[in-house]
Amino acid sequence: MIRLNNLQKEYKGFKLDITMDVPEGRVTGLIGRNGAGKTTTIKCILGLVRPTAGEAEVFGRNPLDLTSDERQMIGVALSESGFSMLFTLEDVIKVLSASYKDFDEKRFRDMCSAQSLPFDKQIKDYSSGMKAKLRVLVAISHNAKLLILDEPTAGLDVIARNDILAIIRKYLDENPERSIVISSHISSDLEGLCDDIYMISDGKIILHEDTDVLLGKYGLIKMSSEEFETLDKRYIVAKQEDRFSVTCLTSEKQFYVENYPKLVIENAHIDDIIVLMLGGEK
Amino acid sequence: MKGLFIKDIRLIANQKRFLILYLAVALILSFSMDSSFIVSYVPMMAMLLVLSTISYDYNDNGMSFIMTLPNKPGDYAVEKYIFSASGVTFMWLVSMVLQFVSFMIQKTEYVLSEVILTDALMLPMFLLIIAIMIPIELKYSPEKGRTVLFIIFGIVMIAVIAGKGLVEKIGGAGDVMELFVKLQNMSPVVLIIAAYAVCLIVLSISMVSTIRIMQNKEF
Amino acid sequence: MKIIINNTSMIPVYEQLMDQIKQEIIGGGLKEGDALPSVRNLAGELRISALTVKKAYDKLEEDGFTVTVHGKGSYVAATDIPLALEARRKAVEEDFAEAVSKARSAGLEDDEIREILEILLEDT
């Protein structure tokens, strides 16, 4: 569905250089710190910016060449951009209705009511949670086959985040052909949703792995410096030393569970993986 | 493109306070003041309103999202021209109706041909301003556009004053006066046709450049 | 059907899923011909990735517990429960045999081996 081949985009002081492949029916997560390149990547996918080198393909074509009909199949939620703040839900409904052939007005109204979004207030008077929910509801309002969600849960409290994730899960359940590219810096949201994760840092992909493998095979091992000396380091991906111990990231925790039963071995969450890969030594 | 039209209509509808003021002043003018002023006031307010949709689109980073709707960048440009031109033209027609109503109410005497000539030349003037403003606002920014608008008015005013001064200095010297006389003797029909033709050409060139600007822009 | 995933366990999620579904099938909770929840549905309910569920479903099919009909979903296969139990029993016997052989080559006596087994049975 989406293919980015050595896609490069340069700005002052920043260079994006990534290769990415999202097949149909996949939920792919893009994780990285603020400024790492998530939004730039998404803008390249959507054709909002032009790459300086390399190619981007969506539905097999350059995103800038997609026809209006093809663009109908894409649902978008951007983190800092949406409908005019002066609009009310009624305005939004009228514009969506005129823009998308498959806009399902009744379902959209029902979902807005279910999320307690006020129909007669201007968007500028919405709370940030409501604004975020509206953006996601708009993205899924027209039966899009491909959803591109840029930080849909940023800045929200845990309940609001869960509400949005639930909305997304339900959308996926309705049609197994739907695909999603979702970017976030909240990895716990992505762990329970995405099939695979791309970690991006400083414009580059530093890790791409199935979530299943990340959670199943990666692990954290905690030990003393002495124990680290004698450790078989074949499957150690990164390490971090602090005053009292050494923490290692491994991509084969079973190996260490079996051979070093005395060491403290924990499941690694994506946050741990990021911290160690970016902060630790390799 | 239909979505873009609806969006712009709703943007304007949301400026209720401004609209009410606008209409109120228009009505007051119709019944009290120089009726011909209506034909410059009403379309001018309409022009400012339709151009304001570009400012609103820019607000809060909105352009990025607008460009993810199923329209191509060129569509955005075309819609703005159609929307602006039809909005201003429609209000110009309304203003002429108001003008004649005002004539009736105030029982003014008027020379039909002169009134029609002046009125007819109003529309191309506003359309020309639109043709200049849209590409500038989209290539640079609405703020720059506003500055340019002031500059244009400034230049026009200076030109008029300077022109008058120049003519007085030259004291009716040959060429300029002859040109003036020629202009006044030119059949009003030819003048009107010339004005609209120039306007159409400029609008077309402007729209084509704006389409290109939008296609090359990044959001 | 009851499925509980332990996120702090070292056992990969897809394995836990597989084991629990197998239990349901062997225990009779899931009968022959019953449909398993769709991949996305189960993934959403358990808050895990759809690929993980797919992996579990694929392996269940490999092991003969389920049958996947393309486009429709996965169904419990016509497994002979006693046969499945028999197969598992055999696997356990083989594991034991390996452990015994390891213990003997480490120099342990049969009594010591029995002691270890007793302790393990008490502990876990």
Is A197 within 8 Å of A188 (Cβ atoms)? Answer: no
Q: What pLDDT, on the 0 to 100 scale, is given for residue B191? A: 81
Considering its fold, how many domains does chain B have in total? 1
Name the residue among A165, A95, A107 with its Cα closest to residue B68: A95
Name the residue among A14, A2, A11 with its Cα closest to residue A200: A14
- Distance (Å, whole) CA B170 – CA B164: 10
Instruction: Provide the percentage of residues in chain A whose pLDDT is more than 70.
Output: 99
Tokens 């990231």 found at: A249
- Distance (Å, whole) CA B187 – CA B192: 9
Size of interface A-B (CB pairs under 8 A): 82
Q: Where are the domains of chain C?
A: 13-76, 81-123
User: C108 to chain A, minimum CA–CA distance in Å?
Assistant: 21
Please report, as a single letter, which amino acid is at residue B112: L
Residue C122 pLDDT grade (very low, low, confident, very high; cuts 50, 70, 90): confident
| Chain C residue numbers touching A196 (CB-CB < 8 A) | 49, 51
Q: What is the length of chain A?
A: 282
Examine the pLDDT at B204 and tell me if it is beyond 90.
Answer: yes
Please report, as a single letter, which amino acid is at residue B193: I
Q: What ipTM describes this predicted complex?
A: 0.89
Is B146 within 8 Å of B130 (Cβ atoms)? Answer: no
Q: What pLDDT, on the 0 to 100 scale, is given for residue C33? A: 83
For residue B143, give its domain range: 2-216
CB contact under 8 A, C10 and A267: yes
- Distance (Å, whole) CA A25 – CA A72: 17
Contacts 24+ apart (CB under 8 A), A250-254: A250/A218, A250/A219, A250/A220, A250/A221, A251/A217, A251/A218, A252/A217, A253/A217, A253/A218, A253/A219, A253/A221, A253/C10, A254/A217, A254/C10
CB contact under 8 A, A43 and B219: yes
What superfamily would CATH give domain A2-213? P-loop containing nucleotide triphosphate hydrolases (3.40.50.300)
pLDDT tens per residue, range A109-145:
999 999 999 999 999 999 989 999 999 999 999 999 9
Establish if A81 touches chain B: CB-CB under 8 angstroms: yes
- Distance (Å, whole) CA C26 – CA C80: 9
Query: Starting from the edge strand earliest in sequence, which strands make up the sheet with A236-241, in order?
Result: A236-241, A246-250, A219-223, A264-267
| Residue A59: Cβ-neighbour burial (10 angstroms; 0-12, 13-18, 19+) | middle
Q: Where are the beta strands (DSSP E) in A49-176?
A: 53-58, 74-77, 146-150
- CATH number among 1.10.10.10, 1.10.490.10, 3.40.710.10, 3.40.50.300, domain C13-76: 1.10.10.10
pLDDT tens per residue, range B20-72:
888 888 778 777 767 777 888 889 889 989 999 999 999 888 999 999 999 88
Tell me which architecture the domain covering A217-279 has in CATH: 2-Layer Sandwich (3.30)
CB contact under 8 A, B6 and A98: yes
Name the residue among A162, A163, A200 with its Cα closest to residue A181: A200
Establish if A120 touches chain B: CB-CB under 8 angstroms: no
Residue of B nearest to A79 (CA): B65
Per the DSSP assignment, residues forming a β-bridge with A11 are: A14
pLDDT tens per residue, range C44-84:
999 999 999 999 999 988 888 888 887 778 888 876 655 66
Establish if B56 touches chain A: CB-CB under 8 angstroms: yes
Residue B77 pLDDT grade (very low, low, confident, very high; cuts 50, 70, 90): very high
Per the DSSP assignment, residues forming a β-bridge with A3 are: A21, A57
Q: What pLDDT, on the 0 to 100 scale, is given for residue B192? A: 85
| Residue C20: Cβ-neighbour burial (10 angstroms; 0-12, 13-18, 19+) | middle
Report strand pairing: A264-267 vs C66-69.
unpaired
Examine the pLDDT at A185 and tell me if it is beyond 90.
Answer: no
Name the residue among B121, B152, B122 with its Cα closest to residue B136: B152
Alpha carbon dihedral A249, A254, A255, A257, in 10-degree steps, equals: 90
Name the residue among A19, A206, A247, A58 with its Cα closest to residue A144: A58
CB contact under 8 A, A176 and C38: yes
Q: What pLDDT, on the 0 to 100 scale, is given for residue B180? A: 57
Examine the pLDDT at B176 and tell me if it is beyond 60.
Answer: no
Q: Where are the domains of chain A?
A: 2-213, 217-279
- Distance (Å, whole) CA A15 – CA A22: 22
Is A81 within 8 Å of A44 (Cβ atoms)? Answer: no
Q: Which candidate in A73, A86, A87 is best for mutational testing of the B interface (most B CBs within 10 A)?
A: A86
Q: What pLDDT, on the 0 to 100 scale, is given for residue B167? A: 61
| Residue A177: Cβ-neighbour burial (10 angstroms; 0-12, 13-18, 19+) | exposed
Q: Which subunits count as partners of chain A given 3+ CB pairs below 8 Å?
A: B, C
